[in-house]
């Protein structure tokens, strides 16, 4: 154990030695806000489960500061407003290019949007490129053809190119800034178009399938203009966003591919025939599949970042499936990665939780309750008890997240107060082993039912549930009510409902 601890300390010391401070002293004039918000996109992590890149900056007397240790240049964002109320406030965004050793002074007037930047590194942080505005694409959602969104994406890129040329002429920025900004520009149109297309296709449904060749043709054209695997572009936020989006959407595409062209899919990704490949795919079509995508498309620093995205999102979604083994493979490939150290503590928690076993407090009905068909049968099981019923699924990210955030706290609050717990897993008849593993992993003491499709449908129809998770409070007299806590859960609202039910 001492050897392992010493190794971790040495690696941690290496990270600190190579890091240098960058600071920004911030003054926001004409604002009533007491704080502003600073964020560093953590190389595409997106969800940023460890909250590595977000800071709330206190604006005491309109002034605040941020100091951070950097090993490499990054783009960062500052968000502030004049404080004029949630709806009426003028909101501003400023994009910084930060490098180790920078010391900047940022002065903004929230009344008119004027900005002045001075100090070490100020030649790379002037307003011509710093002020940020998002393209107005919300109004384009629902378009069945790609004409308008590609026009917006191309206009956005041209405007950035023009501003960049003027910036170089005016401010003589550093070589590394110019290289980073060119990469940012290069991926602008692709990031805007790809992200819009992948979200919009769910809104337009069949119209997308009819016009898919048109949407795909434009995407293919944009992809030919850039490199998918580009370590030089990792500093660029547009590339980071695209990388994260690509991992998700490629996984979704392969889900569809497994249905439409199973022989080719299983041969390419699992080197297996359909029966063998089907079993391997079903065992983990999330984390392991994402790892396969990474190994197929990316190398070097990009693969390292892609692994970090995978781990970050799996931790955020509380999806432990194969996560420890993936992290260990990642560590062997990238032993000096800062991400390996950053995620170690959380992965160790997963390791520990995976060692938990089922206990006598985790009650399984005969046939796991899969023979139950009606909600009335659940009410009969609950007769004379006050029960919190949780409609969940092993495949359901929001279900796992809510269980992780709230289950232990609710049980602590109601310890020895007579509250019972029913967990009904839906669409999991083929996931029995995974179901029991997660019950132990999350320490779900209570009665467990592996729902038949008929039971799932009857409960959701009866309680008017609209999605998973759904919580139902069953009272001692056999009546019930749907949780008022909403999603994400307002735990105090659910606790109040449960207390009222127990008091009957």
The CATH number linked to 116 is: 2.60.40
Lowest-pLDDT range of 58-67, 190-199, 402-411, 445-454: 58-67
Q: Please determine, for residue 388, whether its predicted confidence score (pLDDT) is greater than 60.
A: yes
Residue 271 in domain: yes
Q: What pLDDT digit, counting tens, does each position of 88-143 carry? A: 788 899 999 999 999 999 999 999 999 999 999 999 999 988 876 667 799 999 99
Q: Quick one: 449 and 398 in the same domain? A: yes
Instruction: Look at residue 72 in the predicted model and tell me its pLDDT.
Output: 86
Q: What pLDDT digit, counting tens, does each position of 344-359 carry? A: 999 999 999 999 999 9
Report, as an integer, the average pLDDT of 396-410: 96
Taking alpha carbons only, the member of 412, 352, 362, 387 closest to residue 471 is 387
Range list of H helices, 261-335: 262-270, 274-283, 287-297, 300-316, 323-333
Q: What dihedral angle (degrees, nearest 10) is formed by the CA atoms of 347, 350, 355, 358?
A: 180
Q: Quick one: 235 and 308 in the same domain? A: yes
Domain hosting 445: range is 362-502
- The residues facing 155 across adjacent strands are none
Which of 334, 355, 376 is where one domain is finished?
A: 355
Instruction: Look at residue 4 in the predicted model and tell me its pLDDT.
Output: 33
Q: Please determine, for residue 1, whether its predicted confidence score (pLDDT) is greater than 60.
A: no
Report, as an integer, the average pLDDT of 367-372: 97
Contact in structure between 409 and 383 (CB atoms under 8 Å): no
- Give the separation between CA 423 and CA 468, rounded to whole angstroms: 12
Banded pLDDT at 86 (limits 50, 70, 90) = low
Residue 1 in domain: no
Report, as an integer, the average pLDDT of 391-400: 96
**Domain of 478: which CATH number?**
3.40.30.10
Instruction: Look at residue 13 in the predicted model and tell me its pLDDT.
Output: 34
Report, as an integer, the average pLDDT of 418-434: 96
Q: What pLDDT digit, counting tens, does each position of 299-332 carry? A: 999 999 999 999 999 999 999 999 999 999 999 9
Q: Quick one: 374 and 498 in the same domain? A: yes
- Give the separation between CA 106 and CA 75, rounded to whole angstroms: 15
Instruction: Look at residue 85 in the predicted model and tell me its pLDDT.
Output: 66
Instruction: Look at residue 42 in the predicted model and tell me its pLDDT.
Output: 60
Q: Quick one: 143 and 110 in the same domain? A: no
Q: Quick one: 366 and 496 in the same domain? A: yes
Count of C-beta atoms within a 10 Å radius of residue 456: 21
Lookup result for tokens 């959701």: 460
Q: Please determine, for residue 157, whether its predicted confidence score (pLDDT) is greater than 60.
A: yes
Which of 321, 355, 389 is where one domain is finished?
A: 355
- Give the separation between CA 402 and CA 388, rounded to whole angstroms: 14
Banded pLDDT at 87 (limits 50, 70, 90) = low
Count of C-beta atoms within a 10 Å radius of residue 170: 11
Q: Quick one: 99 and 195 in the same domain? A: no
Q: Quick one: 347 and 272 in the same domain? A: yes
Residue 71 in domain: yes
Residue 10 in domain: no
Q: Please determine, for residue 3, whether its predicted confidence score (pLDDT) is greater than 70.
A: no
User: What percent of the chain clears pLDDT 70, i.e. is strictly above it?
Assistant: 93
Which of 197, 226, 255 is where one domain is finished?
A: 226
Residue 145 in domain: yes
41: three-class secondary structure by DSSP? coil
Q: Quick one: 303 and 271 in the same domain? A: yes
- Give the separation between CA 475 and CA 503, rounded to whole angstroms: 10
Instruction: Look at residue 234 in the predicted model and tell me its pLDDT.
Output: 93
Q: Quick one: 146 and 254 in the same domain? A: no
Contact in structure between 92 and 83 (CB atoms under 8 Å): no
Instruction: Look at residue 431 in the predicted model and tell me its pLDDT.
Output: 92
- Give the separation between CA 59 and CA 82, rounded to whole angstroms: 12
For the chain, how far is it from start to end, CA to CA, in angstroms? 54
Indicate left, alpha or beta for 498 from its phi (over 0: left) and psi (-120 to 50: alpha). alpha
Which two three-digit tokens encode residue 113?
Answer: 């949007």
Tell me the pLDDT of the chain averaged across its residues. Answer: 92
Count of C-beta atoms within a 10 Å radius of residue 282: 12
Total length of the chain: 504
Q: What pLDDT digit, counting tens, does each position of 250-279 carry? A: 999 999 999 999 999 999 999 999 999 999
Q: Quick one: 115 and 164 in the same domain? A: no
Q: What pLDDT digit, counting tens, does each position of 455-474 carry? A: 999 999 999 999 999 999 99
Torsions phi, psi for 101 (to 5 deg): 95, -5
Lookup result for tokens 């178009």: 193
Q: Please determine, for residue 54, whether its predicted confidence score (pLDDT) is greater than 90.
A: no
Q: What pLDDT digit, counting tens, does each position of 5-52 carry? A: 333 333 333 333 457 999 999 999 999 999 999 988 765 576 666 766
Q: How far is CA 149 from the centre of its chain?
A: 25
- The residues facing 97 across adjacent strands are 75
Instruction: Look at residue 43 in the predicted model and tell me its pLDDT.
Output: 58
- Give the separation between CA 322 and CA 290, rounded to whole angstroms: 11
Q: What pLDDT digit, counting tens, does each position of 217-238 carry? A: 999 999 999 999 999 999 999 9
Instruction: Look at residue 6 in the predicted model and tell me its pLDDT.
Output: 31
Lookup result for tokens 């089907």: 278
User: What percent of the chain clears pLDDT 90, i.e. is strictly above it?
Assistant: 83
Structurally, how many domains does the chain consist of? 4
Instruction: Look at residue 129 in the predicted model and tell me its pLDDT.
Output: 86
Instruction: Look at residue 11 in the predicted model and tell me its pLDDT.
Output: 34
- Give the separation between CA 342 and CA 329, rounded to whole angstroms: 16
Burial class (CB in 10 A: 0-12, 13-18, 19+), 492: exposed
- Give the separation between CA 338 and CA 384, rounded to whole angstroms: 54
One-character DSSP codes across 192-230? HHHHHHHHHHHHHTHHHHHHHHHHHHHHHHHHHTS-SS-
Taking alpha carbons only, the member of 318, 321, 486 closest to residue 403 is 318
Q: What pLDDT digit, counting tens, does each position of 432-460 carry? A: 999 999 999 999 999 999 999 999 999 99
- Give the separation between CA 260 and CA 500, rounded to whole angstroms: 51
Q: Quick one: 379 and 471 in the same domain? A: yes
């Amino acid at each position: 154990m001492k050897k392992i601890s010493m190794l971790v300390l040495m690696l941690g010391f290496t990270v600190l030695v190579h890091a240098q401070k960058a600071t920004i002293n911030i003054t926001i004039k004409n604002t009533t806000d007491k704080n502003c918000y600073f964020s560093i996109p953590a190389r595409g992590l997106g969800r940023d489960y460890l909250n590595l890149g977000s800071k709330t900056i206190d604006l005491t007397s309109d002034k605040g500061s941020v100091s951070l240790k950097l090993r490499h240049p990054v783009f960062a964002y500052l968000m502030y407003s004049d404080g004029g109320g949630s709806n009426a406030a003028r909101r501003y965004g400023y994009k910084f290019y930060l490098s180790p050793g920078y010391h900047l002074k940022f002065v903004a007037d929230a009344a008119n949007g004027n900005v002045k930047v001075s100090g070490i590194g100020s030649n790379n942080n002037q307003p011509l490129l710093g002020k940020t505005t998002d393209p107005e694409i919300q109004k384009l959602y629902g378009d069945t053809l790609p004409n308008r969104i590609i026009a917006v994406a191309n206009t956005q890129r041209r405007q950035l190119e023009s501003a960049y040329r003027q910036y170089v002429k005016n401010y003589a920025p550093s070589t590394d800034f110019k290289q980073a900004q060119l990469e940012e520009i290069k991926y602008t149109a692709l990031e805007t178009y790809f992200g819009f297309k992948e979200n919009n296709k769910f809104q337009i449904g069949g119209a997308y399938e009819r016009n898919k060749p048109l949407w795909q043709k434009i995407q293919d054209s944009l992809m030919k203009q850039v490199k998918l695997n580009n370590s030089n572009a990792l500093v660029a936020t547009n590339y980071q966003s695209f990388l994260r989006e690509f991992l998700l959407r490629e996984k979704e595409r392969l889900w569809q591919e497994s249905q439409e062209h199973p022989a080719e899919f299983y041969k390419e990704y699992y080197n297996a025939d359909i029966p063998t490949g089907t079993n391997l795919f079903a065992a983990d079509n999330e984390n392991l599949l994402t790892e396969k995508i990474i190994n197929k498309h990316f190398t070097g620093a990009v693969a390292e970042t892609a692994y970090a995205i995978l781990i970050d999102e799996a931790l955020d979604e509380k999806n432990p499936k194969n996560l420890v083994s993936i992290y260990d493979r990642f560590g062997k490939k990238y032993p000096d990665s800062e991400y390996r150290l950053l995620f170690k503590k959380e992965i160790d928690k997963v390791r520990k939780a995976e060692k938990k076993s089922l206990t006598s407090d985790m009650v399984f009905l005969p046939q796991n309750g899969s023979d139950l068909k009606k909600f009335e049968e659940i009410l009969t099981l609950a007769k004379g008890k006050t029960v919190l019923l949780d409609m969940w699924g092993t495949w359901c990210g929001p279900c796992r997240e809510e269980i992780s955030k709230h289950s232990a706290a609710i049980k602590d609050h109601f310890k020895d107060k007579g509250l019972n717990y029913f967990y009904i897993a839906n669409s999991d008849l083929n996931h029995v082993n995974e179901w029991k593993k997660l019950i132990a992993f999350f320490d779900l003491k209570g009665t467990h039912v592996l729902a038949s499709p008929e039971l799932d449908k009857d409960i959701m129809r009866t309680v008017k549930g609209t999605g998973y998770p759904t919580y139902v409070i069953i009272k001692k007299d056999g009546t019930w009510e749907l949780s008022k806590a909403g999603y994400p859960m307002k735990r105090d609202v659910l606790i109040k409902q449960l207390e009222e039910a127990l008091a009957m």
